[in-house]
Amino acid sequence: MSNPYDRLSEQKLPSRIAESVRLEGARKQAVETGRTRLVVVAAVFACAFLVLAGRLVHLSSIGEGGSTSLANEGSGGLGLVRAEILDRNGVLLASDLGTASLYADPHRVLDAAEAANQISRVLPDIDRSELFSKLTTSKRFVWVKRHLTPRQQYVVNALGLPGIAFLEEQKRVYPQGNLVAHVVGYTGVDNRGLAGIEKHLDQRLGTAARVGSAQPPLRLSLDVRVQHVLRSQLASAMETYQAKGAVGIILDANDGQIVASVSLPDFDPHRIDQVPEENKFNRASLGVYEMGSTFKIFTVAMALELGTADLTDSYDARKPIRVARFMIRDDHAKERWLSVPEVFIYSSNIGAAKMALDVGAERQQAFLKQIGLLQRVPLEISEVGQPISPNPWRKISTMTVAFGYGIAVSPIQMASAVASLVNGGTRVMPTFVRSRDREHAVGERVVSERTSRAIRQLMRLNVVEGTGTKADVPGYLVGGKTGTAEKVGAQGYDRRALRSSFVGIFPTSAPRYVVLVMLDEPKGTKETFGFATAGWTAAPIVGQVIERASPLLGVQIDGDEKGQTAQHVGISRKGRRLASF
């Protein structure tokens, strides 16, 4: 009680208060109490009105906003929207469409038997008794049918049954159908990726609550036009040669982008439950195969790179090699000494085996590992096969791997290893996703420029003069190597069941693309004189594909006339020059 106000009031007021108290007494006391209470009540009301006024200002100036956003989210329905998948030119490969799904609330269904009757009548694929048992459960929500067509939706809606309603859902559609099915993959009924890109990049494709807020589209390295060329040529070849399956890959030799990847037979991603398992199998990336003679590309590159052989060296291919209980012989036996180019173009197993022996098992393994043939390739699809290599790596393994037996790799792996050798010698990592920064990225060096050049010359020579003549397209400088592998049957290798492949590069002077084609068990026809080997079956397909696809790929005809003359390599034997072209 020491503040100045108190002191002041004690000095001035006492006389007045004393007077009034003296004048009015106890009644005045009651009036005073009432007055104080009024002041308190007025203050409380004033506060309440101030709060109201403040809230009013707040509401009208800032607003709640909550109701609008809630209303917007409502139109998206239950389904999750995934990002679109496009090809390299922006053609739609996979997209989401809103569809209506039919559900029921059994508590609100009046007559379950009648409802089941009527619905099964308009939707014939629904079993009446099954639907009836669904409608009599104690749940509050049961699916009747997912993803109705607009017509079905109309008919069911017209029945006007209580307790039956629609829910908007998203359904994945693949406008290109079978064409890119193996790469893009497919999703389940809940729009979750189950195969291919859809499965491997499920997180990236994402799940958003409504249309418009989905992730940005994913652009693949595929080109549907080139893919179609490859697929149609392979399909017609499969029919001609009555093959069990076919694989085709077109890969950019410099940055590893896969422009086309076909595995036949394929499937329709919309009817995935009716597709046999065999068709879902991606032969291009999941299947691993003994590639046969195309492996001689690696053997020769290895020998040239490590300096154990020179283009002018030659090998004794007069007699088959006998190792333990195995016999290595040549299919097109020349029974004489063969120079390195001859070993390559006549596809001599004996020569290749001896070449690999000179290199040795350890260096051979290291080399194959360096070009990525002994480990799984990192790809953006979930179906990637693990290569099978000999373990332990014996002397006989060194010899058989030299011509592509005893080791199994996937076709995509094969194509990217060839690309790594011919593009100047830098490692190529295959990819399905288009990215611009890859175009300038240069991989680690695997062979020298000189070796790369020699391999290109040999591949060109093989097309001009060797087993791959049917792959040639005038003006595009095609190079390549055939590979005919016998499949493993019940009793070892089966001479009649072949796997014919051809790996081509073009243009040889500065390779832009690697084309790999493989046919599973082709049968010879009258036109091929009964031969089912790669030179007769797989090589022509590569030629046709290059002829049709190179304008689409932007490879100019006669693009490099000077390169053509530079590709000539001599076949020399024992220092004597035999031929030059």
15 belongs to the catalytic site: no
Annotated catalytic residue within 95, 261, 263, 293: 293
Size of the site for other proteins (CB under 8 A): 46
Backbone angles phi, psi at 327, to 5 degrees: -130, 125
CA distance 308 to 305: 8
As a dihedral over the C-alpha atoms of residue 550, residue 554, residue 560, residue 561, rounded to 10 degrees, the angle is 60
Q: Which of residues 225-254 bind other proteins (CB under 8 A)?
A: 225, 227-229, 232
Identity of the residue numbered 183: V
Angle at 553 between CA 551 and CA 559, to 5 degrees: 65
Mask for 69-98, x = binds other proteins (CB under 8 A): --xx--xx--------------xxx-xxxx
Whether 77 and 67 have beta carbons less than 8 Å apart is answered as no
The nearest distance, CB 503 to other proteins, in angstroms, is 21
Question: Using the rule CB under 8 A, which residue among 6, 332, 556, 574 binds other proteins?
Answer: 556
Tracing tokens 């208060």 back to the chain, one arrives at: 17
The nearest distance, CB 74 to other proteins, in angstroms, is 9
Question: Is 557 a binder of other proteins (CB under 8 A)?
Answer: yes
Closest to 295 in 3D by CA, of 381, 421, 192: 421
Question: Is 62 a binder of other proteins (CB under 8 A)?
Answer: no
As a dihedral over the C-alpha atoms of residue 413, residue 415, residue 416, residue 421, rounded to 10 degrees, the angle is 130
Angle at 378 between CA 507 and CA 238, to 5 degrees: 55
The nearest distance, CB 438 to other proteins, in angstroms, is 25
Which of 148, 379 has the CB closer to other proteins? 148
If DSSP states are collapsed to H, E and C, what string results for 107-124? CCCCCHHHHHHHHHHHCC
| Longest CA–CA separation in the chain, Å | 149
Question: Is 222 a binder of other proteins (CB under 8 A)?
Answer: no
Whether 353 and 302 have beta carbons less than 8 Å apart is answered as no
Stretch that binds other proteins, among 64-72, 299-307, 348-356, 524-532 (CB under 8 A): 64-72
Question: Is 559 a binder of other proteins (CB under 8 A)?
Answer: yes
Question: Is 510 a binder of other proteins (CB under 8 A)?
Answer: no
Q: Which of residues 95-114 bind other proteins (CB under 8 A)?
A: 95-98
* CB neighbour list of residue 285: distance below 8 Å, 6 or more residues apart: 261, 377, 379, 381, 383, 384, 385, 410, 411, 412
Q: Could you count the other beta carbons within 10 Å of the beta carbon of residue 308?
A: 16
Which of 190, 561 has the CB closer to other proteins? 561
Which of 522, 540 has the CB closer to other proteins? 540
The nearest distance, CB 540 to other proteins, in angstroms, is 13
Question: Is 145 a binder of other proteins (CB under 8 A)?
Answer: no
Which of 50, 557 has the CB closer to other proteins? 557
Which of 99, 426 has the CB closer to other proteins? 99
Q: Could you count the other beta carbons within 10 Å of the beta carbon of residue 392?
A: 6
Question: Is 216 a binder of other proteins (CB under 8 A)?
Answer: no
Q: Could you count the other beta carbons within 10 Å of the beta carbon of residue 337?
A: 14
Stretch that binds other proteins, among 65-73, 104-112, 153-161, 517-525 (CB under 8 A): 65-73
Strand 513-520, strand 492-506: pairing: antiparallel
Identity of the residue numbered 289: Y
Which of 469, 525 has the CB closer to other proteins? 469
| Strand-pair partners of 170 | 98
Stretch that binds other proteins, among 133-141, 206-214, 341-349, 481-489 (CB under 8 A): 206-214
Q: Which of residues 534-553 bind other proteins (CB under 8 A)?
A: 547-548, 551
Whether 119 and 164 have beta carbons less than 8 Å apart is answered as yes
Question: Is 421 a binder of other proteins (CB under 8 A)?
Answer: no
Q: Which of residues 452-491 bind other proteins (CB under 8 A)?
A: 464, 469, 473-476
Look at the chain and count its residues.
581
Q: In the complex, which residues of this chain contact other proteins (CB under 8 A)? A: 56, 60, 63, 68, 71-72, 75-76, 91-93, 95-98, 173, 175-177, 179, 210-212, 224-225, 227-229, 232, 464, 469, 473-476, 547-548, 551, 556-559, 561, 564-565, 568
Instruction: Please identify every residue annotated as catalytic.
Output: 293
